[in-house]
Chains A and B, each alone.
Chain A
């Protein structure tokens, strides 16, 4: 029995190693947008808890001004600031992965945004690490101010990344519609050459659909313009983003209409004169 013990131990260790390897491989594969988003949601909930504790501790300190309440306030502020950095970091990571998953964004645009997002994430990691070295409540307040000023820049990047994601979706849909339009153009030209069916109506409708696609592109460009104009010191960044989003919705409406036109066109071609 004893001589089988090393073999048994080896088998157990080998199995554990394989299981561990599989787990790591699965984790690495599955770190997609959904997982990053779950991380962000969890971190955000932790931040909210830390924030409410910070508010209570701050109030107690302001009321009693004792050393105990100051120490408590310092601890809770540190905890809240750490979670706040963590929230921004996980949110930016989720945004990066959403960018990666969205089709219709050019490689150049994607890479530029990756670089910017990575740089922001690095800043918040460093800031997070530096927080623990703060010796007093005053140091923490200074550190929080740095973060507050940095976040104004981060917000600009966030809205631009969000706008790029939405624009990417529109571009992808428009590209697909353009492809279908090209195929239809070729087919109608072929029918006209054969002369076995009138193509006047079909050609006119094709132009209508083309116009809709152009209008859609114009609206998308207008949205991009609004997003590029956002500045770090703007107090109404959210409002500008909403305007851009509205322009994108209008662009989307034109895509719907273009698609409807093309489907009507198909029906026309399929019907006898």
Chain B
């Protein structure tokens, strides 16, 4: 058998006949779109969406806990706030004394117990009967 001739043969150089790649298409009514193009556009859009979501979560304001979200209880106008344009009586000793006294009275008014529940009369069984 002529084996030498076989050894010289280079199989790599043999031109391989390329099979024609069949392009796949999606059809939407009249339009005919390449499947590859749809995948690349869809992937791009999904990537953009993910990036947008990440950005949105980063830029979002810190969430408020339900406890903080509760409406604040109304408080009376604070009188202690600084007076921007004081009169000559702003440092008057008599006025300051009355102011301090009124503050003390206010505290006493707030803490006054007008119910005195503990002093309600005892519940007693006043009827002693031995009849059915």
Q: Is there an interface contact between A259 and B85, defined as CB atoms closer than 8 Å? A: no
A79 CB to closest chain B CB (Å) equals 12
Given known A-B contacts A87-B124, A88-B124, A252-B109, A262 and B85 have beta carbons under 8 A apart: no
Q: Is there an interface contact between B124 and A162, defined as CB atoms closer than 8 Å? A: no
Q: Is there an interface contact between A245 and B114, defined as CB atoms closer than 8 Å? A: yes
- State A68–B118 Cα separation when bound (angstroms): 40
Q: Is there an interface contact between A266 and B130, defined as CB atoms closer than 8 Å? A: no
Task: List B contacts of A221 (CB < 8 A).
Answer: none
A33 CB to closest chain B CB (Å) equals 10
Pick from B8-16, B38-46, B59-67, B88-96 the stretch touching chain A: B88-96
Task: List B contacts of A147 (CB < 8 A).
Answer: 126
Instruction: Tell me the interface secondary structure of chain A in the complex.
Output: helix
B106: Cβ under 8 A from any A Cβ = yes
Q: Is there an interface contact between B105 and A259, defined as CB atoms closer than 8 Å? A: yes
Task: List B contacts of A94 (CB < 8 A).
Answer: 119
Partner of B116, one of A61, A165, A196: A165
Given known A-B contacts A37-B118, A61-B130, A183-B94, A266 and B102 have beta carbons under 8 A apart: yes
Q: How many A-B residue pairs have CB under 8 A?
A: 126
Q: Is there an interface contact between B87 and A271, defined as CB atoms closer than 8 Å? A: yes
Report how many residues on chain A are interfacial, defined by Cβ distance under 8 Å: 62
Given known A-B contacts A91-B122, A259-B106, A266 and B88 have beta carbons under 8 A apart: no
- State A263–B110 Cα separation when bound (angstroms): 15
Report how many residues on chain B are interfacial, defined by Cβ distance under 8 Å: 40
- State A185–B114 Cα separation when bound (angstroms): 30
Max chain A Cβ within 10 angstroms of own Cβ: one of B98, B102, B108, B128: B128
Partner of A197, one of B87, B102, B127, B128: B87
Task: List A contacts of B120 (CB < 8 A).
Answer: 162
Task: List B contacts of A87 (CB < 8 A).
Answer: 122, 124
Q: Is there an interface contact between A95 and B128, defined as CB atoms closer than 8 Å? A: no
Please report B residues at the A interface, Cβ cutoff 8 Å: 76, 79, 83, 85-90, 92, 94-95, 97-99, 101-103, 105-106, 108-110, 112, 114-116, 118-122, 124-130, 132
Task: Supply 10 A–B pairs (Cβ within 8 Å), ascending by A.
Answer: A62-B132, A155-B121, A162-B119, A173-B105, A177-B105, A183-B94, A260-B106, A269-B89, A271-B90, A273-B87
